[in-house]
Structure 1
């Protein structure tokens, strides 16, 4: 066909068959959920991805200093606590945070 820009991708065989991965419906369902709930993905990126990326940058890329799961959990918990305190200081100031902590 003249003017068919993707003709090179057409099959040259006598029988034209379309193959589909047996779990392709799951991929399509996930894509549909992402497309329909775009606001939720934007909200997640804004609330989760930014702090996690900041914490990773503070830690020096992606490596933990401690090994084993228990130690890594503890290290990550300390990093999150430090992030939360720093964020509260930026939002409330030192006096505001001290007043909130004192009750």
Structure 2
């Protein structure tokens, strides 16, 4: 049957083969093993298989993506936004990301190179 727990749609079932299963002693002490699966559980399983095939993927991600968020967090004062409400916080975050990106472009191209690229894009 289906149920909802903590805003998640779950499928709950217990197989009729449980009492006759040769693995019963290792599986469950009760008569039937109840199995609960989130409706999107297969998505998590696919992702886990991908990570199992390439275990260093998270190390690569941490070194490329997480650094950006760490820098932004440091700039913003570590743990909070200065504004309230989703719209204002979204604007504040967008400005922080824009500042980060502009700073990176200036470090890579230099100020003159960035200005030249901006003029080329505008025309």
TM-score normalised according to structure 1 size: 0.67
Q: Which residue of 1 aligns with 2:90?
A: 73
Contiguous gaps of at least 5 residues in structure 2: 1-24
More helix as a share of residues: 1
Q: How many residues are paired up?
A: 88
Q: Which residue of 1 aligns with 2:118?
A: 101
Alignment CA distance shift 1:21-1:74 (3 Å): farther
TM-score normalised according to structure 2 size: 0.57
Q: What is the 5 A alignment of 1:1-103?
A: 22=35, 29=45, 31-103=48-120
Contiguous gaps of at least 5 residues in structure 1: 1-15
* RMSD (CA atoms): 2.9
Shift >4 Å, 4+ stretches: 16-24
Alignment CA distance shift 1:43-1:101 (3 Å): same
